[in-house]
Structure 1
Amino acid sequence: MAEAALAVSSIEIVPSGKALGADVIGVDIKRDLSAEELGQVRQAWAEHLVLRFRGNGEVPLQKLADFSRLFGDLDRAPVASQTMGKDFAWQHPEITVISNVVVDGTPVGGLGSYEAVWHSDMTYNATPPKGSALYAVEIPPSGGDTHFANMYLAYETLPTNLKAQVEHLHCVHDASRNSAGELRMGFADITDPRHTVGAVHPVVRTHPVTGKRCLFLGRRRNAYLPGQPLEESEALLDALWAHATRPEFVWAQQWQLGDVILWDNRCTMHRRDSFDPSTRRLMYRTQITGEAVI
C-alpha cells in the first residue's frame, strides 16, 4: 500500500503503510457528514479495512451511535455487558462497555485486562456483525494495543495446495463460550470439536461490498470442518491460522485518548494485548448489523 497521504476534498486519508489501516483526517465524528464526505469515508473503509479517527476529544455516546449508524443498523449490546448503572442500558442500548474497571466489587464492563487472542466477532451467529466502532475514554500507560489482520491478503497468499483444499469447505464456529472464554449458560463444555454447536460458514467468503474473497475463520477454539476426519480438520485449521496471522498481514493500533477505530469484521481478525490490571481501561463499542455469509 502507498504510504503517501491521499487528499480528497477536506478529508485526508493517510494509509498506515502496513497491510491494512488508515488515519482519516478532517472528520469530526461529533458532527454530521455530507453525502460526499460519507462516500469518501466508506470508500476508504472498503480499501483500508480499518480506519482511525484521532483527536476527537470527548464524544457523547449518542454521537458515537449516530456515527456508527452511518454504516448500517446497530445491534443491541448484550445486557450483561452494561453494568454502568441501572439507566445505562436503557439510555444507550447500542453501546457495549469494554473495561477492566471494578466499582464496589462489580465490573463496569467486559473483557478485563487479559490478552484476547485472534478472532472475528460473533461468527457463531448466522449473521455475524459487519463491523464495529471502538472509542477510547481511558487507556493504560502501556499495553492494551489492538492488532488487526488482513484476511484478503491471507487468502490471496495461501499456498496453492492449501487454497485448493479449503476453497469449498465450511467451518462450524463454536457458540458455547463468550469472548472471555466463559461457558455460556445452557451449553455443554465441548472437548471434541466434532460436537461443536454454532453457525456454519464458508472458510472462504465473498465480501458483499468489494466482491473480493477472503478467509473467514472466526475463532480457533473448537472450530471444525464438517465432513473431515478430526485429525485432518485440526491440521487444516492449524495451517490456516498460522498463515492468516503472519506479521506481514498485521497492523497494530496503539491507543490514544479520544481515538475511534472503525473495523470491518467481515475481512479482518483482531486481538488485544494484555495490560496491567491495576491500571484503568475504559472503551465504548458499537456493533454494526451484518448479513448472511456467502
Structure 2
Amino acid sequence: MFTITKLSRAIGADANIDLRKLAESKDPAVVAAVREAVQTHFVLRFRDQHLSADEFVGLASAFGHTKTLKRATAATSAHLSSHPQIKVVSNVSIDGRPIGDGGSSENYWHTDGTYLPQPVELTFLYGRESPKANPPKTFFMNLSDVHDRLPRYLTSYLSELSCIHYSKYNFAPEYAEQIAALPEGADRRHIGPSFPLVRRNPHSGRPSLYLPRQRQCLIEGLTSEESEKLSDLLWTYVEAYNDTWGDVIGVNDLFVFDNGYTLHRREAFDTSERRVLWHIATEGEPPIPYGDGVLASGPRRSPGRSGNGERA
C-alpha cells in the first residue's frame, strides 16, 4: 500500500503516499493503515504533497471530527475565511494585520489542545511557505519513552494523580462563563479539564506522560506549591531527554502527529523571513488513566515525604 521509513529510534517516519488521492477517495483501508503508522511512529512526514485547501480539509476529516485551535484573538487575524477549519500558523502580517496565529520566536515543548474536554488527537501541519535562510526545525518527543526513563518511585506516584489543564491564551467554550465571572487578573488555573498525569496508550498498552502546556498547573490533591514543584521536576526530566527527532517543515511537506503521546517544539527564525503553515486538528478521546483511574479522597503526599511530614 505504501512504505514506511523510520527516522529515529523513538519517533518519526517517512511515508510515501499521494495524499491528494487519499483526500479524494477516503479509502477506509488506507486511512486505517495511515492511522496505524501514526500510532506506531507518532509522527509521519509526507513530502512533495500538492493539496488545495478543500483537499487538505477533506484529508483531515477522513481521520475524525476536525477542530480549529485558533487563539481567542483570532478575530483580529485573517486565517482562511473560505475554510474556517484551517488555522494559519504564520509570522506574516499584511498592512499590520496578522494572516494567522504565531510568530518567529521559539515555540517551546507543548501538546496541542489539552485544555479541551475532548482533547486533540491528531495534528496536520502543511507547509505553504518556508524561510529561505536558516528555516526552523520542528522537533518531536515520545512521552512514553520519557515515562520509561523516570525513576520507579516517581512513576508509581504519578499514576494516581490528575492535573487541571488550563490555558493562558485560549479556552474551551464549556468554560467561557467561568472565565468571564473571574475578576481581572484572577488565578484561572482551577478552570479546565482534569486529566491523568500518566495515561494508557490503548494501541500499545504503554504508559505515557500527559503534561499540560502551562507549567504552573494545579495537580489535584496537592497544594499550589507542591503542584509547581512536581511540575518543575517533570519538566526537568523532559528537558534532559535528548532522543528526539526534528526537521524543517518545507513547502509541500505535510506532517501528521499524535498529540496524546508526544510533545513538539519549533526553533526561532529570522522575523524578516516568511513562514506559513496550514493547521488542522482532529478531536480525540479523554485520556485513560494508566493506574486504576480512581483517585483516593483527601490530599496526597508528595514523593519522598514520610507520614510525619519529614523528607524520607
TM interval, shorter chain, is 0.7 to 0.9
**Aligned residue number for residue 46 of structure 1:** 39
- Once residues 107 and 193 of structure 2 are traced to their aligned partners in structure 1, the CA distance between those partners, rounded to angstroms, is 21
- Once residues 159 and 238 of structure 2 are traced to their aligned partners in structure 1, the CA distance between those partners, rounded to angstroms, is 15
Of 121-130 and 131-140, more deviation after overlay is shown by: 121-130
Deviations 1:49-94 (A, max 9, x none): 00000111x3201111111122211114538547437xx33x2121
For structure 1, which runs of at least 5 residues remain unmatched after alignment? 1-8
- Once residues 154 and 231 of structure 2 are traced to their aligned partners in structure 1, the CA distance between those partners, rounded to angstroms, is 10
SS in structure 2 at match of 1:241: helix
Cα distance, 1:143–1:221 mapped onto 2, change above 3 Å: farther
Contact residue 215 and residue 232 of structure 2 kept, 8 A: no
Contact residue 206 and residue 213 of structure 1 kept, 8 A: yes
**Aligned residue number for residue 149 of structure 1:** 141
TM-score when normalising by structure 1: 0.85
TM-score when normalising by structure 2: 0.80
- Once residues 18 and 103 of structure 1 are traced to their aligned partners in structure 2, the CA distance between those partners, rounded to angstroms, is 42
- Once residues 68 and 251 of structure 2 are traced to their aligned partners in structure 1, the CA distance between those partners, rounded to angstroms, is 25
- Once residues 190 and 30 of structure 2 are traced to their aligned partners in structure 1, the CA distance between those partners, rounded to angstroms, is 44
State the shift of 1:152 in Å: 0.9
Q: Would you say 1:31 and 2:24 are equivalent positions? A: no
**Aligned residue number for residue 101 of structure 1:** 92
Q: Would you say 1:127 and 2:121 are equivalent positions? A: no
Contact residue 154 and residue 249 of structure 1 kept, 8 A: no
- How many residue pairs get aligned? The number is 274
Contact residue 165 and residue 194 of structure 2 kept, 8 A: yes
Task: Tell me how large the CA RMSD over aligned residues is.
Answer: 2.3
- Once residues 147 and 21 of structure 2 are traced to their aligned partners in structure 1, the CA distance between those partners, rounded to angstroms, is 37
For structure 2, which runs of at least 5 residues remain unmatched after alignment? 289-312
Contact residue 46 and residue 253 of structure 2 kept, 8 A: yes
**Aligned residue number for residue 293 of structure 1:** 287
Of 32-41 and 96-105, more deviation after overlay is shown by: 32-41
Deviations 1:3-30 (A, max 9, x none): xxxxxx4x110000242000001x1111
**Aligned residue number for residue 158 of structure 1:** 150
Larger Rg over CA atoms: 2
- Once residues 75 and 93 of structure 1 are traced to their aligned partners in structure 2, the CA distance between those partners, rounded to angstroms, is 9
State the shift of 1:236 in Å: 1.6
**Aligned residue number for residue 176 of structure 1:** 168
**Aligned residue number for residue 202 of structure 1:** 196
- Once residues 131 and 67 of structure 1 are traced to their aligned partners in structure 2, the CA distance between those partners, rounded to angstroms, is 12
State the shift of 1:107 in Å: 0.6
**Aligned residue number for residue 6 of structure 1:** none
Contact residue 121 and residue 218 of structure 1 kept, 8 A: no
- Residue 73 of structure 1 aligns with an amino acid whose one-letter code is H
**Aligned residue number for residue 248 of structure 1:** 242
